[in-house]
Structure 1
Amino acid sequence: MKVTLERKNDDYLFEAKGKSGVPLHIDNTVDGVSNGSSPMELLLMGVGGCSAIDVIHILKKQRQKITSYTIEISGEREKIKEANPFKSMHVHINLEGEILPQKAIKAAQLSFEKYCSVSITLEKSVIINYSITLNSVKIV
């Protein structure tokens, strides 16, 4: 796997591209106006995107009907020397549709414990937990 980043201004704005060729903007979000996501936001997005794809794939294979899927990922950071890495992340999955609760729970469990390469990559240094709301009822 390979990605490229190209600087787009005299400051911190970069355009990143992977295999798809679809551009993504990365910028310094600390100094006011930003024209892209920060690298730390991208980590949160990576965890969310990876697990969302897994959960949807698993539920579709089980013939569950998903009418809406949103995911919210928050991260808690800590100061270590000059850096501020994540020490924990919480993923909240919001599902709507004709989905059996036990299938939603199992899909999320499989994603975080077996399939999501992003969260598995981070698990040695970041505590990642999750919760699920199904049809406006919190089930985990």
Structure 2
Amino acid sequence: MIKNTVTTVWTQKSQFETDNPSGHKFTMFDKSQDNGDVVGYAPKALMLSSLAGCSGLDVVSLLTKMHAEVADFKIEVTANLTDEHPKFYDKVKVDYHFSDAELQPKKIQKAVNLSVTKYCGVMEMFRQFADVEIEIHLHNL
């Protein structure tokens, strides 16, 4: 079993610096507070980025193995935050956008489905607390 450990240190006001098992560090902060010129990320938004990144890495790898690479690929994640504390995402929509002159829809569908149902652990974690909707968009160049 693999264990990951991160260390998060309060730096000032509503800001924390955290590391990552890769050794890189970044700043997290409360976006509702004045953080001056600090470049950082809000913790809940990072969850959405993690979801997109996890699934995106799966999809790119699968499409490469299937010889179905695309010219452009982006993922947009939209999430509904509850009104009551503790606020959490109860509904999440993941839109996969693929662009290419020669799209292979069946292979793209298969790659996304495998990521969503089998490989992406972050997707599985989200399903434990949110309704997750998936949509694939194909754009011909």
Q: Give the TM-score taking structure 1 as reference length.
A: 0.87
1:42 Cα deviation from its structure 2 partner = 0.8
Counterpart of 1:83 in structure 2 is 86
Kindly provide the CA deviation profile for residues 61-89 of structure 1, in whole angstroms up to 9, marking residues without a partner as x.
Answer: 10112211111111012134x22111011
Question: Unpaired segments of 5 or more residues in structure 2?
Answer: none
1:99 Cα deviation from its structure 2 partner = 3.2
1:108 Cα deviation from its structure 2 partner = 1.0
Q: Give the TM-score taking structure 2 as reference length.
A: 0.86
Three-state SS of the structure 2 residue aligned to 1:60 is helix
Counterpart of 2:22 in structure 1 is 20
- Tell me, yes or no, if structure 1 residue 69 matches structure 2 residue 66: no
The worse-fitting range, judged by mean Cα deviation, of 88-97 and 49-58 is 88-97
Counterpart of 1:130 in structure 2 is 134
From 4, 7, 21, the equivalent of 2:7 is 4
Question: Unpaired segments of 5 or more residues in structure 1?
Answer: none
Superposed, which structure 2 residues align to 1:12-51 within 5 Å?
A: 12-33=14-35, 35-51=39-55
| Aligned residue-pair number | 135
Q: In 2, Cα distance between the equivalents of 1:134 and 1:3? A: 38
Q: Percent of aligned pairs with the same residue? A: 24
Asked if the contact 1:75–1:89 (Cα under 8 Å) also holds between the matched residues in 2, the reply is: yes
1:136 Cα deviation from its structure 2 partner = 5.0
Asked if the contact 1:51–1:112 (Cα under 8 Å) also holds between the matched residues in 2, the reply is: yes
Three-state SS of the structure 1 residue aligned to 2:71 is strand
